[in-house]
């Protein structure tokens, strides 16, 4: 009996036999990388603090969500987000808006100065629709003129084609969808700030 146990243990340790020495596939960490404007902060312009965005419960994990049918969802095993989708979108919003020339400073609270405006939001969805071969992003955003006047509330839903079957193709499409949403957000913020009154949802 002891000889049998020793033999089984040796088999488990041999590479290629499905045992303890089997190599696990490395995890690939993903981040959204939308195209950013070429501008920079503008001296004398108002300041903006961007809070961390919330994430809908269904997407509040580090796995990439994929919709394979009307009610069938799957999740990647070896491809994972480097952070919660809400944090990824908020970080991209900070980078993007700091280069639009709309603001003199864009930062995460607590900031170096008292902000003139606060941007907050939530990611309602970020997933790969395999049936439609598209990347889907839905995010809501609100702008507050501190100490507490609402200047605008917007919901952006963007779907961009996924050119291929690899996760890398989905990532490119998702980054493009975010870039489109941020471009619209920049225009909406400019209008809301100039108007100085609550803006209409688009």
Mean pLDDT of 40-68: 94
Cβ 150 vs Cβ 142: under 8 Å: yes
What's the pLDDT score for residue 128? Answer: 98
Q: Read off the pLDDT band of 3 (50, 70, 90).
A: low
Q: What is the pLDDT of residues 143-153, one digit of tens each?
A: 999 998 999 99
- Residue position matching structure tokens 């480097």: 82
Lowest mean pLDDT among 26-35, 111-120, 156-165: 111-120
pLDDT at 15 over 90: no
Burial of 142 (0-12, 13-18, 19+ CB in 10 A): middle
pLDDT at 155 over 90: yes
Q: Which residues of 125-141 are buried (b: 16+ CB within 10 A; e: fewer)?
A: bbbbbbeebbbbbbbbb
Sign of CA pseudo-dihedral 115, 182, 53, 190: positive
| This prediction's pTM | 0.84
Look up residue 45 and give its two tokens. Answer: 């312009």
Percentage of the chain exceeding pLDDT 90: 74
Q: What is the pLDDT of residues 111-127, one digit of tens each?
A: 888 999 999 999 999 99
Structural domains present in the chain: 29-195 (3.40.50.10610)
What's the pLDDT score for residue 162? Answer: 98
Look up residue 124 and give its two tokens. Answer: 């309602």
Q: Tell me whether the omega of the peptide bond preceding residue 98 falls within 30 degrees of 0, making it cis.
A: no
Cβ 119 vs Cβ 192: under 8 Å: no
Mean pLDDT of 15-29: 64
What's the pLDDT score for residue 132? Answer: 95
What's the pLDDT score for residue 196? Answer: 76
Mean pLDDT value across the chain: 88
Q: What is the pLDDT of residues 60-115, one digit of tens each?
A: 999 999 999 888 999 999 999 999 999 999 999 999 999 999 999 999 998 888 99
Q: What is the pLDDT of residues 173-201, one digit of tens each?
A: 999 999 999 999 999 999 999 987 444 44
């Amino acid at each position: 009996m002891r000889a049998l146990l020793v033999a089984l243990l040796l088999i488990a340790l041999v590479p290629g036999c499905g045992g303890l020495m089997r190599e696990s596939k490395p995890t690939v960490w993903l981040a959204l990388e939308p195209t950013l404007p070429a501008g920079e902060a503008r001296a004398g312009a108002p300041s903006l603090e961007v809070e961390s965005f919330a994430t809908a419960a269904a997407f509040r994990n580090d796995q990439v969500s994929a919709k394979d049918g009307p009610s069938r969802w799957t999740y990647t095993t070896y491809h994972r987000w480097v952070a919660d989708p809400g944090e990824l979108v908020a970080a991209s919003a900070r980078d993007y808006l700091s280069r639009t020339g709309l603001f003199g400073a864009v930062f995460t609270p607590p900031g170096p100065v008292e902000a003139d405006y606060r941007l907050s939001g939530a990611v309602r969805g970020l997933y790969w629709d395999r049936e439609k071969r598209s990347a889907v992003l839905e995010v809501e955003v609100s702008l507050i003129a501190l100490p507490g006047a609402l200047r605008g509330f917007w919901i952006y839903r963007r779907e961009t084609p996924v050119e291929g079957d690899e996760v890398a193709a989905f990532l490119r499409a998702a980054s493009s969808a975010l870039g489109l949403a941020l471009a619209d957000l920049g225009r909406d913020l400019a209008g809301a700030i100039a108007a100085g009154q609550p803006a209409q949802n688009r």
